[in-house]
Amino acid sequence: MNYNVTVIPGDGIGPEIVREAQKVLDKIGEKFGHSFNYTEVLMGGASIDVHGVPLTDETLAVAKASDSVLLGAVGGDVGNSKWYDIAPELRPEAGLLAIRKGMGLFANIRPAYLYEELKDACPLKDEIIGDGFDMVVMRELTGGIYFGERKTEEVDGVMKATDILSYDENEIRRIAVKAFEIAMKRDKRVISVDKANVLDSSRLWRKVVAEVAKDYPEVQLSNMLVDNCAMQLVRDPKQFDVILTENMFGDILSDEASMVTGSIGMLSSASLGATKCGLYEPSHGSAPDIAGKDLANPIATILSAAMMLRYSFDLDQEADAVEAAVKKVLEDGYRTGDIMSQGMKQVGTIEMGSLIAERI
């Protein structure tokens, strides 16, 4: 098959890590008989330098017309960059929000996976972690309190600020469907996280999720209150397969879950909408401190490309092959600086990409 992939290298380490992900995709194409056609476009600071804005209409149109988007990261050195002191809507990060919104990407998937080889980086005890840790946080991305009405006002001489948390049933249903679809490809267990003992929006959430669950009889659904979930992630993270939750809870819980896995250089993500065309990017930023030095860990981006294979193209076998190659490289003792430990072999960005591609 032919797949058209929009590639957005972005800023800082973005171009270096995206190049390695493309190297791995090309190897997958060779082995499995696919061809990935790349259209490279500018976003973030790179786009500001050329077009004066972080995302042009044309770039958004290219992204929407393609089968999928692979993104590095955008942004400069906060405080010191030439893109810092400009209007908010013209800053690099505005491009990121605009493309997510423009593509209607309401579902953010963040896997938290601890490789056995990196167990030393996990802050939890061996008896809690056992042979590893593998879960996914499915976070609603375009609704809830981050997108609700807000205001700051003075009432009777007292300052008052308001943020409104609201969801309609359609917003809940579409993210729930995504979570169950993903659970079907995993261990078939969904834990929906809410605060239904207090919030009306959570009561509606719980009701709609239960309705959606009827269409997925193979998937086991349970509900958990968010405060309990925060505790359970540390007490017994292995009980989780897919966490389904609203925007703000997902923001907080996915950071908590990610901490269990060691380095930010290992964490992939996918943002999906109503179509198969998704946006795949590492969870980290543009790391200006190490840009251009062949120091960045490309694994988060390579694993994001694996998610693209799985979720946008339904190429499960190919995605498995990428994940297995990453695991093999770690088993063989290769590490970038961020995951380096004693007795291991330290390699740069380019070599890490090549080592993974070789193992496919």
Binding site for Mg ion (CB under 5 A): 251
Active-site residue 134, yes or no? no
Examine residue 250 and tell whether it contacts ligand NAI (CB under 6 A). no
Say which of 49, 227, 314, 332 is annotated catalytic. 227
Give the range of 67-75, 195-203, 209-217, 315-323 binding ligand NAI by CB under 6 A: 67-75
Active-site residue 332, yes or no? no
Examine residue 74 and tell whether it contacts ligand NAI (CB under 6 A). yes
Residue 259: how many other CB atoms lie within 10 Å? 16
Hey, is 358 helix, strand or coil? helix
292 carries a ligand binding annotation: yes
Torsion of Cα atoms, 190 then 193 then 196 then 199, to 10°: -140
The answer to whether 126 touches 260, Cβ cutoff 8 Å, is no
**Residue 221 binds which entry of ligand NAI, Mg ion, none, with Cβ cut-offs from 5 to 8 Å by kind?**
none
**Closest approach of ligand NAI to the CB of residue 343, in Å:** 20
Active-site residue 227, yes or no? yes
297 carries a ligand binding annotation: yes
**Closest approach of Mg ion to the CB of residue 285, in Å:** 11
- Number of chain positions touching ligand NAI (CB under 6 A): 21
Say which of 57, 215, 255, 316 is annotated catalytic. 255
Joined together, the tokens standing for residue 126 give 């061996």
Give the helix ranges, DSSP H, for 142-238.
169-184, 200-213, 226-235
Examine residue 15 and tell whether it contacts ligand NAI (CB under 6 A). no
356 carries a ligand binding annotation: no
Closer residue to Mg ion (CB): 93 or 181: 93
26 carries a ligand binding annotation: no
Q: At what angle do helices 349-358 and 14-32 cross, to 10 degrees?
A: 10
Closer residue to Mg ion (CB): 103 or 253: 253
295 carries a ligand binding annotation: yes
Joined together, the tokens standing for residue 292 give 């251009």
Compute CA distances 171 → 135, 141, 206, 308, whole Å: 23, 10, 13, 23
Examine residue 287 and tell whether it contacts ligand NAI (CB under 6 A). yes
Question: In the window 294-323, what residues touch ligand NAI (CB under 6 A)?
Answer: 296-297, 300
Closest of 241, 237, 349, 260 to residue 300, by C-alpha: 349
CB under 8 Å, gap of 24 or more: what pairs does 315-322 form?
315/28, 315/32, 315/34, 316/185, 317/32, 318/28, 318/32, 318/34, 321/28, 321/31, 321/32, 321/360, 322/24, 322/28, 322/356, 322/360
Segment (H or E) for 138: strand 133-140
H helices, E strands: number in the chain: 12, 14
**Residue 289 binds which entry of ligand NAI, Mg ion, none, with Cβ cut-offs from 5 to 8 Å by kind?**
ligand NAI
Examine residue 326 and tell whether it contacts ligand NAI (CB under 6 A). no
Examine residue 290 and tell whether it contacts ligand NAI (CB under 6 A). yes
Closer residue to ligand NAI (CB): 65 or 78: 78
CA distance 344 to 332: 9
**Closest approach of ligand NAI to the CB of residue 322, in Å:** 17
CA 226 to chain centre: 21
Which active-site residues does the annotation give? Answer: 146, 195, 227, 251, 255
Binding interface with ligand NAI (CB under 6 A) = 73-76, 78, 93, 96, 264-265, 281, 284-290, 296-297, 300, 338
Residue list, annotated binding site for NAD(+): 285-297
